[in-house]
Amino acid sequence: MDSNLSLDDIEKARHISADWDCSLHLPLWVSNIEGASIENQLEDWTRKLEECGADIDLVASVMKKPLRPLWISQKTVIWLNEVPDYDSWDFTPFILVSASASHGFIQQRRTSEFSWHYIPGAGDDEESWARGLHPRLFWKHAYDVIDLGPSMCNQKVSEIVEKERVYLSQRCSASPQVTVRTQKELANDGFVSGSESCVPVEIEHLVTYVSTKSSNDECFIYWIGSTNLAVGSSIDALNLRVDACCILNCDPNFMSSCFTTYDSCLHLPIMSSKLDRFSLMNSLSLAVRFAELSMKREKKLLICCHDGEDISICVCLAIFARLFDEEGYFDGGKASMSTSITKLDLRRQLVFICKFAIKARPSRGNLKQVFGFLSRERRFICSGASSVSGESTSEFKN
């Protein structure tokens, strides 16, 4: 994770940055008390950034001016003809946009043509208002949706989402009919729910073996270095063709019978932490076991979820932390079980994954479940007991 910069490059970057304005710059609406509180924590935040393994030297070597955040809110007024030329600025702007209003009631925005109702905070919960659109589907049809205006855009979104659903169902209908069982349905096949072990007696019985099928469609899958682990969305996983590859499907709405280009497949319908606070944690034992068997068979493993940015990243993080050593080599969990894991350790491993999965944005709730699972695994293995499914994660809230 270290950069390949020479000592001369690093020294040159430090010399240039010596004249930078590194004081704290905050928007006008931040009070002096809050500003002082932020400033008091800067050193600690800087230390944590350095410790997490981020390649700071590489970033600093290409920066000619210091970063400075600029905040844009609903009340921000910018006259474009008065914005100075970028080259005249003594800093590199880092634009932060807030969609939320500073008050709690619904604000109505009017223009000469359209009328919009804005719900403060909705930008943080796109699943509650996006009507089934995901980012790639939106940008593919962005102008079509925007041009129709508020009176027709919902209807257009419904048509787009339905066409996408039909397209995906047709892709799946061409696949062989394969029975994919969920975690609850496996209770009679070596799994016991509740307070008993959630590790299968023979996980091979859960694995769906499918035929290989070629595909020339473009897809975006992120391979995590040389670990043979990859993450991506369910849609992208449909278009991937890789020899000796298994798939761990975490999408609740995407049946594994769609994936016909993989050697084996395990479907774990993991819900968002906003819908189920323990769904991810209760599924990680199976995910790690499946990954371990795949690695021992010298297979590649693709982990997919509906967007490839949250749940799949967290599952990959749990697998990487549990089965790989600090150098990124598969060791079956020997290194992870020889020492307790800290939040700093997990942060470093997440930084390593995000170095390759550049669109990763794991949620805080899911990361807490990963940390809870790894801590629980360590505790139970040290005490000679099996993992317990459904154990409360309350002790990991802080």
Per-residue pLDDT tens over the stretch 291-304:
999 999 999 999 99
Each residue's pLDDT tens digit, 237-257: 877 766 678 999 998 876 655
Question: Is the model more confident about 303 or about 338?
Answer: 303
pLDDT at 41 over 90: yes
Distance of alpha carbon 163 from alpha carbon 153, whole angstroms: 15
- pLDDT for the residue numbered 258: 60
Average pLDDT over residues 313-340: 90
Per-residue pLDDT band for 222 (boundaries 50, 70, 90) equals very high
The beta strands (E) that lie in the chain are given as: 67-72, 92-97, 107-110, 115-118, 208-209, 222-223, 229-233, 245-249, 264-267, 300-305
Distance of alpha carbon 346 from alpha carbon 320, whole angstroms: 10
- pLDDT for the residue numbered 357: 92
pLDDT at 189 over 70: no
Out of 224-233, 248-257, 320-329, pick the least confident: 248-257
On average, the pLDDT of the chain sits at 75
- pLDDT for the residue numbered 119: 54
Out of 134-138, 207-211, 290-294, pick the least confident: 207-211
Question: Is the model more confident about 253 or about 310?
Answer: 310
What is the number of helices (H) and of strands (E) in the chain? 12, 10
Nearest to 283 by CA among 345, 372, 221: 372
Amino acid at 33: I
Letter string b/e over residues 339-353, b meaning 16 or more CB atoms within 10 A of that residue's CB: eebeeebbbbbbebb
Q: pTM for this structure?
A: 0.66
Per-residue pLDDT band for 17 (boundaries 50, 70, 90) equals low
Per-residue pLDDT band for 114 (boundaries 50, 70, 90) equals very low
- Supply the DSSP string of 316-352, one letter for each residue: HHHHHHHHB-TTS-B-TTHHHHTS---HHHHHHHHHH
Token couple for 141: 């049809």
pLDDT at 7 over 50: yes
Residues 6 or more apart whose CB falls under 8 angstroms from that of 135 comprise 307
pLDDT at 95 over 80: yes
